[in-house]
Amino acid sequence: METGVITVRSQRQAEDWSVVLLSQGIESMIQPGAEPGQWVLRVEPENYTRALRTLRVYVTENKQPVWVQPVPWSGGLIFDWRSPVWFLMLAVLFYLSTYRFKSIRDLGIVDSAAIHNGEWWRFFTATMLHADLPHLASNCTIGIIFLGLAMAQYGGGLALLAAFLSGAAANVASFLIDQRPALGASGVVMAALGMLAAHSIWLWRTERPVGPIVLRSVLGGLLLLVLVGFDPASDVVAHVGGFVVGGICGVILRDRWARNDLVNTIAGLVCGLLAGLCWWLALR
């Protein structure tokens, strides 16, 4: 290979890599390659080794795990296929609380008297319980999609922890306004939707050319909130609360730690330990 020439797969990749190199003070020139459809980056010979090292680090840091994949025909959406694991756990809990140990539901729902007696963990355990099979099915169906998209954008562990905390916060809001018994993962699901809407707003502020697409994404998120979250038979306060708190979490997190494996691993462990602690307190 000619010194100073870096072969790339496409013009888009050449443009992206050129920006990466420029951020490190390495100027490059984008040119068509020798073969049709081929593109190359040309750098000064003395910068060639440093340019390769910079691009190698960039590719390594931005490499998507095997479970994070683009959604076909979606226009660039990516999905984290670990999200069904959380909802599989909810399905197992539903089976246990419905057919095996029915006391689980009474011990985990948001109950006014129990909350006043200091059982704060019910705000968390209630997000993992469901009243009946249709309730579970509806939350799992849309929840897998929303949470999977949010996990792909913010990082698996961070998105899951943020959605879990937001769901509990939504239960707190619902409890303060309407102290009737409550349960369900709707707050968590709406929190994931709120995080997606916040991510779209952040894209609009940083990447102006995608403004119309982002605007449609935000409006679509609000429309979904109205269609799914404003069912009179459901806990509207928890739905809106989850969406709002999830959006706030999305604004705080943005893409800052999305690709930091250590941060996401720690966040995932914290989420698992918090869920385990709450259920231990509920069942002891």
Confidence category of residue 202, pLDDT binned at 50, 70, 90: low
Look at residue 26 in the predicted model and tell me its pLDDT: 85
Q: Which residue ranges does the chain devote to CATH 1.20.1540.10?
A: 68-283
What is the Cα Rg of the chain in Å? 23
Answer whether residue 218 shows pLDDT above 60.
no
Q: Are 17 and 31 in contact (CB under 8 A)?
A: no
Answer whether residue 203 shows pLDDT above 60.
no
Rank 90-104, 187-201, 230-244 by mean pLDDT and report only the highest: 90-104
Q: Which residue ranges does the chain devote to CATH 3.30.70.1530?
A: 5-61
Q: Which token pair is 74?
A: 């979606």
Look at residue 210 in the predicted model and tell me its pLDDT: 42
**Beta-bridge partner residues of 182:** 110
| Superfamily of domain covering 68-283 | Rhomboid-like (1.20.1540.10)
Look at residue 95 in the predicted model and tell me its pLDDT: 94
Lowest mean pLDDT among 2-6, 11-15, 20-24, 115-119: 2-6
Return the CATH fold of 5-61.
Alpha-Beta Plaits (3.30.70)
In this structure, the number of other CB atoms found within 10 A of the CB of residue 278 comes to 23
Digit-coded pLDDT (tens) for 13-59: 788 888 888 888 888 888 887 777 778 888 888 888 888 888 887 77
| % of residues, the chain, pLDDT over 70 | 80
pTM over 0.95? The answer is no
Average pLDDT over residues 85-96: 94
In this structure, the number of other CB atoms found within 10 A of the CB of residue 31 comes to 12
Secondary structure string (H, E, C) spanning the chain = CCCCEEEECCHHHHHHHHHHHHHCCCCEEEEECCCCCCEEEEECHHHHHHHHHHHHHHHHHCCCCCCEEECCCCCCCEEECCHHHHHHHHHHHHHHHHHHCCHHHHHHCECHHHHHCCCCCHHHHHHHCCCCHHHHHHHHHHHHHHHHHHHHHHCHHHHHHHHHHHHHHHHHHHHHHCCCCECCCHHHHHHHHHHHHHHHHHHHHHCHHHHHHHHHHHHHHHHHHHHHHCCCCCCHHHHHHHHHHHHHHHHHHCCCCCCCHHHHHHHHHHHHHHHHHHHHHHHC
Distances (CA, A) of 151 to 64, 156, 261, 269: 12, 4, 13, 15
Confidence category of residue 214, pLDDT binned at 50, 70, 90: very low
Answer whether residue 207 shows pLDDT above 50.
no
Look at residue 49 in the predicted model and tell me its pLDDT: 85
Q: Are 229 and 239 in contact (CB under 8 A)?
A: yes
Lowest mean pLDDT among 75-79, 180-184, 241-245, 275-279: 75-79
Look at residue 228 in the predicted model and tell me its pLDDT: 53
Q: Greater confidence, 202 or 129?
A: 129
Look at residue 256 in the predicted model and tell me its pLDDT: 62
Measure the CA angle with vertex 161, ends 279 and 67; round to 5°: 110
Distances (CA, A) of 219 to 179, 213, 214: 31, 10, 9
Average pLDDT, the chain: 81
Q: Which token pair is 271?
A: 């989420």
Look at residue 25 in the predicted model and tell me its pLDDT: 84
**Phi and psi at residue 6, to the nearest 5°:** -120, 120
Look at residue 48 in the predicted model and tell me its pLDDT: 85
| % of residues, the chain, pLDDT over 90 | 28
